[in-house]
A and B are shown apart, each in its own frame.
Chain A
Amino acid sequence: MQFLKRNIPVLIAFVMGIAMVCQYYIPSQASQDFGSDMNIWTEIIFAFALLIGVQSLIHNHTNKIRRKQVGYGFSWAVIISMIAMTIAGLIGGGVDNTKGMYFWMFQYLQVPMQATVFSILCFYIATAAYRAFRAKTPEATMLLIAAAIAMLGRVPVGTELTDWIPLGTFWANLRMEIMTDWLLNIPNTAGFRAVMFGVGLGIISTSLRIIFGIERTYMGGGD
C-alpha cells in the first residue's frame, strides 16, 4: 500500500520531471510531439477533475440548504443558475451560437455581473492607496512621493505643471514625465528584476525538490 501510495507517485514525478526537462532542450519533432501529448493528457485529466469539482459544488450547496446555514439563499441561486445554464447550453448550443439562450445569458447576465465585481476594485484601490500613502515612516514618505510623481507624470494635468521647464537642459530632468519615466525604468525595473531572479531560482529549487522526491507534501504525505 505504501509502495502504491508513496513510491509510485514519486517515481512518476521523477520520470516525468526529467522527461520534461529533456524535452525543453530537444527541439526534434518526436520531442515536440511528446510535449503536446502531455498537454493533451493534462486536458483530459482536467475534464475528469471538473466532474469532481461540480460534484463538490453541488454537495456543498445542497448541504447548506438542507442545514439552512447562514446565507443558504445564495446556495439556491447557485444551483438554479447552474441548472439553467446547463439546460440553455444543451438546448441552444454554447457561446458560439450567438442566437442561443446560453449566449444571451452569458453575454447579458454573467459578463455584466463579472464586470460589476471587477469595477469594485476602483473603490478598493482608493482605500488601499489611502492606507499606503500615510507618511508615517521615511520609507512610506518616499513611497508617497514616488507614487505622486508617477501618477502626475502619466496624466496631462501633471505634465502641464512642469511644462515650462525647457527641454535639452539639465533642469529638464525635473519635468514630471521625465521623472516618471526614470522612476519606472530604473529603480522600479531594477526592483522587479531582483524579485524575478529570486522567483526563478525558487521555482528551480522547488522543482528539483519535487523531481527528486524530497518535497512530498503536495501528494498528501508530509515529508
Chain B
Amino acid sequence: MALLETIHLKKTYTIGKNIQTDALRGVSLQIAEGEFLAIAGPSGSGKSSLLNLIGALDTPTAGTVLLDNQNISEINSQELAAFRLHHIGFIFQAYNLINTLTAVENVEYIMLLQGVNRRTRESKSEAILERVGLADYINRFPQEMSGGQQQRIAVARAMAAEPRVILADEPTANLDSKTAQDLLDLMAELNREKGVTFVFSTHDQLIMERAHRLITLKDGVITS
C-alpha cells in the first residue's frame, strides 16, 4: 500500500485579476514507504507545486492528496500545520533555517512544537547533529556556517521530527558538487538506516542517478 498518493491533482495559480496558469494538470502518483524518489523536470514543470501540495504547504485546486489513506486536501490551515509538524520534514533549497536560533536550537525547535520534554530534546538534537557531522558546531548560528553545513542542519531538523516523509526541494542547488555528494550520501544513509521516505524535486543529475525511482514532469503532467 502506498504511503503517499495523489489523485488527479490540479493546481491553478491566478496572476493579477484574470490570468490563470496551470501548474499541475492532473497528477496521479503513488509513493511507497521507504522510497528514495526524485521528481525531475525543467523550470516551470510543476515540481515545486507538487512538493508543496504533498507537503500540505498549499491546497490543490482539484484532486486529492492522501497520506496513509488520510485525505489532507480538505483540512483547514491550523490542522495542516499540525499535520506538517507530525508527518512531514522539509529541506529547502535556501536552507531556510531560523537565523536567531543556534544549530542545536534549530533542530530542537520542531520537537518543542511537538511537546517533547527539554531533556529529550537536547540529547536527541545533539545526537542528530553528531550524526550529520556537526557535533562541533551545535552552538553556532546559521550565518556563521557554510552552505553545506547549513543544509546539514536542515537535514537534522527534518530528521528530528521523525516524519514519515522528507520533502527536499532542490536541496543541492546551492552547494558545490563535493558538498552535494556528501549531503546526498548522508540522506541515502538515513533512508537506509531509518527507513524514512525521501522525495526530491531536482535538476541535479547526481540526485537523479542516486534516486530509486525517477519521475519526470513537464507542463504539469507526468511524462515518465
Q: Does A associate with B in a complex?
A: no
